Amino acid sequence: MGAIETPPLIRIPNFIPGIHGSFIPDHITMTWIVMAFLIVVSYLATRRLTDVPGPIQNVLEQVIEAFTGILDSIIGHGGRRYLALIGTAGLLIFFSNILILIPGLRCPTANLNTTAALAFIMVVSYHFFGVREQGLLTYLKHFLGPAGELPKFLLIGMGWILIPAFILVEIISHLARLVSLSFRLFGNIFGEDTVFLFILFLTTIMWPIYVMTPLISGLVIFTGLIQALIFVMLSTMYIAGAVETHHAEH
């Protein structure tokens, strides 16, 4: 990888206490670039909203409708209140996934620190939403698993073993979600970047680069979109599971 990977186009001198090195880590710098891009695009799309949208506003409206459709289909109409979180995460991940298409830039999602941070935010968020929607005590009952459905005589005799066991299983399950979201996105994007750079290196030797680059770029965009959708869908399902009792009662 080191032999074929281009050096970073942008490096920022380190000004953050506690981070070692002369420069800000590349994955943080690349994430800031994606964030700045999204902020600029959002500003341009919303500064002059019209009934007949321009190209940028039209694209952004289509994207919002797509995220809204996902939330409606998984959570229901009440899921639209989570649009800001899910939409921001989806766009950030997608553009991070395809950043390697710009020479000198790298995908921040090919770094485990980035994907772990995104997964951590999602896991903490759906727990927060669950507590907000159902109340702390009601939400904590989720961690009892099927204990509440067991016969009373079994709970009386074995509850001191079963309840802690169920709680431990639920905790492990939620931690597994954190690990799964982190490593699934990281592994796929890291592998994609490696293959992309290797094939791009070969094209300069064996085939004309103008023939292969559009094909490879299209593949990177497609897989980057799929990985972003997977993260969004899983996160939405976790939110739905955390708030389902609230929506079922209404």
- Asked whether residue 144 carries a pLDDT value surpassing 50, the answer given is yes
Read off the pLDDT of each residue in 220-225 and give the average, rounded to a whole number. Answer: 91
Q: What pLDDT is recorded for position 17?
A: 77
Residue 87 pLDDT class (50, 70, 90 cuts): very high
- Asked whether residue 1 carries a pLDDT value surpassing 50, the answer given is no
CA-based nearest residue to 225, from 109, 145, 143: 109
Residue 216 pLDDT class (50, 70, 90 cuts): confident
Q: What pLDDT is recorded for position 161?
A: 72
Q: Domain-by-domain residue ranges, the chain?
A: 26-249
Other beta carbons within 10 angstroms of residue 20's beta carbon come to 6
CA-based nearest residue to 244, from 141, 148, 90, 124: 141
How far out from the chain centre does Cα 7 lie? 26
Q: What pLDDT is recorded for position 62?
A: 92
- Asked whether residue 209 carries a pLDDT value surpassing 60, the answer given is no
Read off the pLDDT of each residue in 105-123 and give the average, rounded to a whole number. Answer: 94
- Asked whether residue 5 carries a pLDDT value surpassing 60, the answer given is no
Q: What 3-state DSSP class applies to 4? A: coil
pTM listed for this prediction: 0.85
What residues pair up with 13 in beta bridges, in sequence order? 23
Q: What 3-state DSSP class applies to 3? A: coil
CA distance 133 to 131: 6
What residues pair up with 23 in beta bridges, in sequence order? 13
Residue 30 pLDDT class (50, 70, 90 cuts): very high
Q: Sign of the C-alpha dihedral, residues 221, 226, 229, 230?
A: negative
Q: What pLDDT is recorded for position 247?
A: 42
- Asked whether residue 160 carries a pLDDT value surpassing 80, the answer given is no
If you average pLDDT over every residue of the chain, what do you get? 83
Q: Copy the structure tokens of residue 37.
A: 């891009």
Scanning the chain, the segments in alpha helix (DSSP H) are: 26-46, 55-74, 83-97, 112-134, 136-140, 152-203, 209-249
Q: What pLDDT is recorded for position 77?
A: 83
Read off the pLDDT of each residue in 134-140 and give the average, rounded to a whole number. Answer: 88
CA distance 52 to 39: 22
Q: What pLDDT is recorded for position 69?
A: 94
